[in-house]
Each structure stands twice: as C-alpha cells, then as structure tokens.
Chains A and B, each alone.
Chain A
Amino acid sequence: MSDHDPFETFKATMSTSGTLHPLPAHEVRRRGDRLRRRNTALAVAGGTVAALVAVGVPVALTQTDGSTDGDAGLVATQGPSTDAVAWRVDIPADFPLVEGLPDTNVFSGTPVEAREGYEPQAPGPCRGEAWDVTGSLDVLQAVFQDTEGGIDRSLAVFADDTEAAARIDAMAEQAATCRDTETTVVPLTSDLGEQSLVFANVWEDGQTYLHQAVRVGNAVLYTTSFSLGGGDPAVLEDERERSQDRDSEVIAQMCTFSADPC
C-alpha cells in the first residue's frame, strides 16, 4: 500500500467524521435484557415440539382424553391461550412475507410478491396435500419459481393457538403414518418458534421437497422448497439449515401473533 493509501486515510477519520448517535451503554444493556426476556418467553410459552425422531416411527402421542394410540394419533399440544387473549385475526398489511426470497422469478422475471389465498405447490406425504388452511381467518402466500421447482411460503392465521397447533399436529400425523412405494418421509430436527415441524419428502431419484411449519401464537408459517440429492442425509440437513436461515427474519416478525405480541 502506498503512503497515501485511501484506506489509511479513511481509517484515520472513520471513527471521528460525521455525527454519531450512540445510546448510553446502560440503555443498550436494558434493551438487551428486554430482548432476552421476550425470547425466553416465546421459547417456553406453549412448549416446543421436536420433529419425528425416526423414519416411520410415530412420536409417542397422547390424545386429549389421556389415552395413547400406537398408530400415532394427534398431538394434543396445549398452548398458552386463555379466554383473556385477544388473538390477531389478520396479517398486518406490511408483514414481510417475501423477506429472504429472491426478488424475481427466474424465467418470467416477474416480481415475487405476497398474494391472498393459498394453493399447494409441493406434494406432501404420500403425494397428498400436506397443509390445510380451511377455516383460517387470513392467509397470504408467496411463490418463487426457480429453474427447477422453487420456494413456496405461506402464512395462515387461525382462531387461536390451539387451532393453529392442531393443524401442525395433523401434518405431523400425516407424515408419520405415510407408507408409500415411491417416496420416503424423512424427519428432521426443528426447534423454531413455539412449535415447529420439518420433514423431507424424498423420491427414489433424489428429488426432494422440504416441508417446514412454524407456529407462533395463532399463526403458522408453512414453507416448502425443492432440491435434488435427497438420498444423502447431509444434503437434507443442509437444506433444512438453508430453509431455517432463509425464514429466520419472517419467523422473528411472527411475534406479532403471540399471546404477548411484540
């Protein structure tokens, strides 16, 4: 570098030029403590349900009447709802559903946008429809179309957290009980929001659809993505991480649907 290196000139002045507005350190710590308390409350509020732990093996499940069903009945996930909770009945107009998705679709060049309603984009377990938004109060969907497959993301609001949780439980049951000759359901570990479920639907040739459902309060974010190479567990894990990372900011914004909204 020369004696008149522009980087050296910049470094000499970057800490002192312009007007800065630093918060007092005690205020930074106060806000950090508040953030930590909120994150802790979200993590423990309804209990977090891990995904299935073995291929084809149902999670030990308890029905609401206390009996068990060896053929994998619904998980009775009790949320924190009480009669006093005023659940949101719609999705905020500025909710960033497309955050983390590419700006435009590959072939058409059209923008990736959120639209009202929901249409399945990926086959679910046993090639059926995995996600049911019937009776939801509000639902938005954004679809990104890639050269092969793409990413589909939808957000649905239900009457309360119990209803939302039951929809994820139903998907978990469908995944756990699927016995198909052409596809295999591979469960993956997930720990997002107040409740989450992640599994891969893998074809014999390796084509794979990853399904991820995350609940916060009475809303569920459901995402599917397409990939190849699903016969390799490392590929599936990589896809799971990518999906989680891609959805992270949207999931963070879902705190608006919790029993104690942000």
Chain B
Amino acid sequence: MDEVEFDDFYTTSYARVVGQVHAMIGSRDEAEECVQEAFVRAWAHRRSLDRSGHPEAWVRTTAYRLAVSRWRRVVKGRRPADRALGAATTTAPPSEAHVALVAALKQLPEAQRRALVLHHLADLPVHEVARETGVPEGTVKARLSRGRAALAALLTDPTTDTLPGGATSV
C-alpha cells in the first residue's frame, strides 16, 4: 500500500470505523483516539496490513483492542500535546435513536455487542465476524441471536411497545 492508497483508505474509512468502534465500546472520544492510533500503526505496519487482505478489519480490530486495554486509561492523563487529535469537523448532533442504540449496546455482554456491531453495522457476514473475532461461526450465530433478543428488550419503549424511531423489531 503506497501513500496515495493509504491516504484514500484513511479518508474513506476513518469516520465509518470510528462509528463502529464507538458502538462497540460506548465512548465516542475513546473510539476516535483508538481509531486514530490504529491508523498510525497501520501505516507503520503496512506490510502486515497488505498481507491481511482486510485492511479495514485490521484497523478496526487494532482500535478495539486498544480501547479495551486498561493501559490507555492509565496513560491517557500524561499523553503529550503533540498526540492530540486534529482540528474539529463539526457535524449534526447524534439523534435520539442513535444515542439509545449506543446506550443499549453498552448494557450487553462485550462478546454479543461486538458481534452485533460487526454484523449489523459493519455488514460483515457471519463467517467474517467469526474470522475477525477468532471464534467458530456457531458461536457467532448464538451471540447474534442472544444479543438481538436482549437488545430488543432494552430498546422497547415500555409505554408504547415500540422502539425509538418507530421500529417494531430488531
């Protein structure tokens, strides 16, 4: 992957991966920092990136592992100024449904949450989710089934039996 290819890859996938990791860990700021660092590592290890055949999955997995690492919470306080993120790109605030989904996902077990995000947000087929998470396909299917049921229960409005935004099922 040369500079032009990497810059294009970075530009087109950055926001999408931040959204996916945000859904996995529940913190947008943490997700963005981890995704940013994952892209730095991706360039440093671009030969591994090329060999993987799935560069976006490589970055997403690296960012996710960084995010769940307690080390980041310990050292973030002494992060030097030059590691600050770039200039802000302001867009519309998140919708109520957006916020509700992230909050509900956060209440699920980590394995179910990750499977749901990879399958329903990253649009990965079951076998790709299995590859990225390192578990058998049957395990992925079970996590998706249980996760969907739990998510539906969390998202259902108790007063109207509908989901935020008018949805009736997940």
Report A's interface with B, CB cutoff 8 A. Answer: 1-2, 4-7, 9-11, 13-29, 31-33, 35-36, 39, 94, 96, 98-100, 249-250, 253
Contact = CB atoms under 8 A, between A and B. Distances in A.
Interface in B59-73: 69-71
A17 B86 contact: no
Contacts of B78: 94
Contact of A6 (B69, B71, B101): B101
Q: Which of A18, A19, A35, A39 has the most CB of B within 10 A?
A: A18
Contacts, number: 152
Contacts of B58: none
B32 A20 contact: yes
Contacts of A15: 15-16, 19
B91 A16 contact: yes
Contacts of B167: 2, 4-6, 9
B62 to A, nearest CB: 12
Contacts of A249: 69, 71
Interface residues of B, number: 59
29 contacts: A4-B166, A4-B168, A5-B167, A7-B101, A9-B101, A9-B167, A10-B19, A10-B97, A10-B101, A10-B121, A11-B19, A13-B98, A16-B15, A17-B98, A20-B14, A20-B32, A20-B91, A21-B88, A22-B89, A25-B6, A25-B7, A28-B40, A36-B45, A98-B70, A99-B69, A100-B69, A100-B70, A249-B71, A253-B75
A21 B86 contact: yes
Contacts of A253: 71, 75
A14 B169 contact: no
B163 A4 contact: yes
Contacts of B146: none
Contacts of A23: 36, 85-86
Nearest to B117: A7
Nearest to B89: A20
Contacts of A31: 40, 43
B112 interface: no
Nearest to B97: A9
Contacts of A21: 32, 85-89
A35 B44 contact: yes
A240 B75 CA distance: 27
Contacts of B116: 7
B158 interface: no
